[in-house]
Structure 1
Protein backbone atom coordinates (compact mmCIF):
# COMPACT_ATOMS: atom_id res chain seq x y z
CA UNK A 1 0.00 0.00 0.00
CA UNK A 2 1.06 3.55 -0.67
CA UNK A 3 0.13 6.70 1.20
CA UNK A 4 -1.54 9.34 -0.94
CA UNK A 5 -2.84 12.84 -0.42
CA UNK A 6 -6.13 12.91 -2.31
CA UNK A 7 -7.89 16.07 -3.47
CA UNK A 8 -11.54 15.35 -4.27
CA UNK A 9 -13.30 18.06 -6.30
CA UNK A 10 -17.05 17.78 -6.86
CA UNK A 11 -18.12 19.78 -9.90
CA UNK A 12 -21.73 20.49 -10.85
CA UNK A 13 -22.89 21.67 -14.29
CA UNK A 14 -23.99 25.11 -13.07
CA UNK A 15 -20.85 26.15 -11.19
CA UNK A 16 -18.09 24.39 -13.10
CA UNK A 17 -14.50 24.27 -11.80
CA UNK A 18 -14.75 27.73 -10.31
CA UNK A 19 -17.34 26.70 -7.73
CA UNK A 20 -16.28 23.12 -7.08
CA UNK A 21 -16.43 21.70 -3.58
CA UNK A 22 -13.02 20.46 -2.47
CA UNK A 23 -12.00 17.96 0.15
CA UNK A 24 -8.45 16.87 0.99
CA UNK A 25 -7.79 13.51 2.65
CA UNK A 26 -4.83 11.21 3.24
CA UNK A 27 -5.16 7.47 2.79
CA UNK A 28 -3.13 4.29 2.47
CA UNK A 29 -4.50 2.55 -0.60
CA UNK A 30 -3.59 -0.20 -3.06
CA UNK A 31 -4.19 1.90 -6.17
CA UNK A 32 -5.98 5.10 -7.17
CA UNK A 33 -8.31 3.18 -9.52
CA UNK A 34 -9.37 0.77 -6.78
CA UNK A 35 -10.07 3.69 -4.41
CA UNK A 36 -12.27 5.47 -6.96
CA UNK A 37 -14.16 2.30 -7.90
CA UNK A 38 -14.86 1.58 -4.23
CA UNK A 39 -15.60 5.11 -2.97
CA UNK A 40 -16.81 6.92 -6.10
CA UNK A 41 -20.42 7.32 -7.11
CA UNK A 42 -19.85 7.73 -10.87
CA UNK A 43 -17.98 5.59 -13.44
CA UNK A 44 -14.43 6.54 -14.45
CA UNK A 45 -14.28 8.78 -17.54
CA UNK A 46 -10.57 9.59 -17.78
CA UNK A 47 -7.25 8.83 -16.09
CA UNK A 48 -4.14 10.99 -16.44
CA UNK A 49 -0.72 10.05 -15.08
CA UNK A 50 1.49 13.06 -14.38
CA UNK A 51 5.29 12.96 -14.91
CA UNK A 52 5.79 13.56 -11.16
CA UNK A 53 4.01 10.29 -10.32
CA UNK A 54 0.63 11.82 -9.49
CA UNK A 55 -2.60 10.48 -10.91
CA UNK A 56 -5.78 12.38 -11.82
CA UNK A 57 -8.99 10.39 -12.28
CA UNK A 58 -12.19 12.04 -13.52
CA UNK A 59 -15.60 10.44 -12.99
CA UNK A 60 -19.01 11.66 -14.08
CA UNK A 61 -22.62 10.90 -14.83
CA UNK A 62 -22.62 12.14 -18.44
CA UNK A 63 -25.01 14.97 -17.55
CA UNK A 64 -22.49 17.50 -16.26
CA UNK A 65 -21.81 16.24 -12.75
CA UNK A 66 -18.16 15.27 -12.28
CA UNK A 67 -15.81 14.33 -9.50
CA UNK A 68 -12.06 14.79 -10.02
CA UNK A 69 -9.66 12.86 -7.79
CA UNK A 70 -6.03 14.04 -7.69
CA UNK A 71 -3.62 11.59 -6.06
CA UNK A 72 -0.15 12.71 -4.86
CA UNK A 73 2.33 10.44 -3.10
Structure 2
Protein backbone atom coordinates (compact mmCIF):
# COMPACT_ATOMS: atom_id res chain seq x y z
CA UNK A 1 0.00 0.00 0.00
CA UNK A 2 1.25 3.43 -0.86
CA UNK A 3 1.17 6.15 1.84
CA UNK A 4 -1.70 7.97 0.11
CA UNK A 5 -3.85 4.84 -0.10
CA UNK A 6 -2.96 3.89 3.45
CA UNK A 7 -3.92 7.34 4.75
CA UNK A 8 -7.28 7.28 2.95
CA UNK A 9 -7.91 3.73 4.11
CA UNK A 10 -7.25 4.54 7.77
CA UNK A 11 -9.29 7.72 7.56
CA UNK A 12 -12.23 5.73 6.21
CA UNK A 13 -11.86 3.04 8.89
CA UNK A 14 -11.63 5.70 11.62
CA UNK A 15 -14.78 7.38 10.29
CA UNK A 16 -16.72 4.11 10.21
CA UNK A 17 -15.61 3.13 13.72
CA UNK A 18 -16.38 6.62 15.08
CA UNK A 19 -19.87 6.57 13.53
CA UNK A 20 -20.50 3.08 14.91
CA UNK A 21 -19.49 4.20 18.40
CA UNK A 22 -21.69 7.29 18.16
CA UNK A 23 -24.64 5.18 16.98
CA UNK A 24 -24.09 2.77 19.89
CA UNK A 25 -23.92 5.66 22.36
CA UNK A 26 -27.13 7.11 20.90
CA UNK A 27 -28.91 3.77 21.34
CA UNK A 28 -27.71 3.59 24.95
CA UNK A 29 -28.97 7.11 25.62
CA UNK A 30 -32.36 6.52 24.00
CA UNK A 31 -32.89 3.01 25.38
CA UNK A 32 -34.89 4.13 28.45
CA UNK A 33 -37.39 5.84 26.13
CA UNK A 34 -38.11 2.84 23.88
CA UNK A 35 -40.71 1.21 26.18
CA UNK A 36 -42.69 4.43 26.84
CA UNK A 37 -42.68 5.25 23.13
CA UNK A 38 -43.94 1.75 22.32
CA UNK A 39 -46.75 2.12 24.88
CA UNK A 40 -47.67 5.54 23.50
CA UNK A 41 -47.86 4.12 19.98
CA UNK A 42 -50.03 1.22 21.16
CA UNK A 43 -52.42 3.48 23.08
CA UNK A 44 -52.64 5.91 20.15
CA UNK A 45 -53.38 3.02 17.79
CA UNK A 46 -56.10 1.66 20.06
CA UNK A 47 -57.76 5.02 20.77
CA UNK A 48 -57.65 6.39 17.23
CA UNK A 49 -61.13 5.02 16.31
CA UNK A 50 -62.60 6.77 19.37
CA UNK A 51 -60.90 10.01 18.36
CA UNK A 52 -62.24 9.77 14.81
CA UNK A 53 -65.73 9.11 16.16
CA UNK A 54 -65.61 12.06 18.52
CA UNK A 55 -64.49 14.32 15.70
CA UNK A 56 -67.70 13.53 13.81
CA UNK A 57 -66.79 10.37 11.96
CA UNK A 58 -69.64 8.23 13.26
CA UNK A 59 -73.17 9.56 13.05
CA UNK A 60 -73.96 13.19 12.42
CA UNK A 61 -75.83 13.43 15.74
CA UNK A 62 -73.12 11.75 17.82
CA UNK A 63 -72.02 13.70 20.86
CA UNK A 64 -68.85 13.36 22.86
CA UNK A 65 -68.06 14.60 26.34
CA UNK A 66 -67.17 18.28 26.36
CA UNK A 67 -63.54 19.25 26.29
CA UNK A 68 -63.13 21.06 29.60
CA UNK A 69 -59.51 21.89 28.85
CA UNK A 70 -60.72 24.51 26.35
CA UNK A 71 -63.13 26.25 28.71
CA UNK A 72 -62.36 29.97 29.17
CA UNK A 73 -62.18 29.95 33.01
- For Structure 1 versus Structure 2, the TM-score category normalised by the shorter chain is under 0.3
Which has a greater percent of helix?
2
TM-score calculated relative to the size of structure 2: 0.17
Which structure would you say has the larger Rg?
A: 2
TM-score calculated relative to the size of structure 1: 0.17
Which has a greater percent of strand?
1
Greater RCO, CA 8 A, separation 6+: 1
